[in-house]
Amino acid sequence: MQAEERRSSSQGAPIRVAVVGATGYTGAELLRLLLGHREVRVTAVCGHSKAGRPVSEVLPSLSGLLDAEFAAFDADAIAEVAELAFCALPHGASAPTVAALRERGLRVFDLSADFRLRDPAVYAEWYGEHGAPGLFGEAVYGLVELYREALVGASLVAVPGCYPTATLLAAAPLLREGLIETDRILVDAKSGVSGAGRKAGGATHLPEAAEGIRAYKVGGAHRHTAEIEQEMGALAGSAVRICFTPHLVPMTRGILATVYAPLRAGTSVSRCVEAARALYRGSPSVAVLEAGRCPDTLWVRGSNRAHISYVIDERAGMLIAQGAIDNLLKGAAGQAIQCMNVALGLPEAEGIGGAGAWP
Pick the catalytic residue from 162, 243, 294, 339: 162
Q: How far is CA 93 from CA 96, 140, 269, in A?
A: 7, 19, 43
Is residue 229 within 8 A of residue 163, CB to CB? The reply is no
The C-alpha atoms of residue 186 and residue 355 are separated, in whole angstroms, by: 30
162 is catalytic: yes
Phi, psi of 47 (to 5 degrees): -155, 100
| Residues marked as catalytic | 162
